Amino acid sequence: ATFRLAERLAENRPLVSAWCGMPTPETAGLLAAEAFDAVTLDMQHGAIDFREVLQAIPLVAAHGKPTVVRVPVGAFATASRVLDAGAAGIIAPMINSVADARALVAYTKFPPVGERSWGPAGALALNGLQPPQYFQRANDAVMVLAMVETRAALDIVDEILAVDGLDGIFIGPADLSITLSGGAGVNPAAPEVDEALDHALARTRAAGKRIGVYAHIPERAALFKSKGFDFVAASSDANFMRAGARALLGGLAG
Ligand code: 3PY
Ligand code: MG
């Protein structure tokens, strides 16, 4: 399952991932049973810790699906650890400099590209691989995306995209809306955010790399899919639960 993400990306169609912030591993497993291409676990704003990632990855893999993990800000060592556990991809928030992007690569790619330390116990067990097989494929197969979600990052998006070993970028529209409005408010669907998204998409295509984006509502997911983003992470487990509850209560109203 760890290498399934790379195989799906190679089909060059937008992949759609569920977004999970709840710490119960079963939640990730439930979402993996639906027609998502992947499940993303959010360790930045979600309530998920390493142990839950460890437990969720096999439940997602049981459905033949890859797990992507968004690590906390600056948690490059955690990125290494979740890859060892069998994660197929990393989304790293608040990458605002070339130095940040290089550090991210150092922790997530083996030499000669980076400095990732050897020890992928979970990844080997999960995939039934011998060490040389994982080592040979991991640098190419593991998707490492740097989050571009500040004006500072946007200003140097070409330089971030040029970092060797980085597979691409992932846009956080909410944080981007805060920075682009000068702190006036949060609106992930603001026109200036859409403009920045189009720019980032064009620059990523020019660089021959991958671009992901977070969609807080279904309409935005559909828009991003139609624009050809490579990886669209959508909504959240909490939102799915809320929508289900409201649908039930709406049907009972009156
Ligand atoms: C953002 O929109 O800022 C994100 O980080 C998406 O979760
Ligand atoms: Mg953000």
Beta-carbon contacts of residue 53 (< 8 Å; ≥ 6 apart): 41, 43, 67, 69, 82, 85, 87
Structure tokens at 80: 């290494």
What does the pLDDT look like over 176-206, one tens digit per residue? 999 999 999 999 999 999 999 999 999 999 9
Angle CA 41–42–48, to nearest 5: 85
Q: What share of the chain is helix, strand, coil (3-state, %, to 5)?
A: 50, 15, 35
Within a 10 A sphere around the Cβ of 148, how many other Cβ atoms?
32
Per-residue pLDDT of the chain (254 residues; tens, 9 = 90+): 899 999 999 999 999 999 999 999 999 999 999 999 999 999 999 999 999 999 999 999 999 999 999 999 999 999 999 999 999 999 999 999 999 999 999 999 999 999 999 999 999 999 999 999 999 999 999 999 999 999 999 999 999 999 999 999 999 999 999 999 999 999 999 999 999 999 999 999 999 999 999 999 999 999 999 999 999 999 999 999 999 999 999 999 88
**Residues flanking ligand 1, CB < 6 Å:** 149, 172-175, 188, 214
Residue from 147, 148, 237 to probe ligand 1 pocket by mutation (most atoms less than 8 Å from CB): 147
**Two tokens at 129?**
């691989």
For the stretch 34-63, pLDDT in tens is 999 999 999 999 999 999 999 999 999 999
Nearest CA to ligand 1 atom 5: 172
Is 45 labeled as catalytic in the residue annotation?
A: yes
Pocket test for ligand 1, best of 43, 68, 149 (most atoms within 8 A of CB): 149
* 4-249: CATH topology: TIM Barrel (3.20.20)
Q: In angstroms, rounded to a whole number, what is the distance separating the alpha carbons of residues 180 and 185?
A: 9
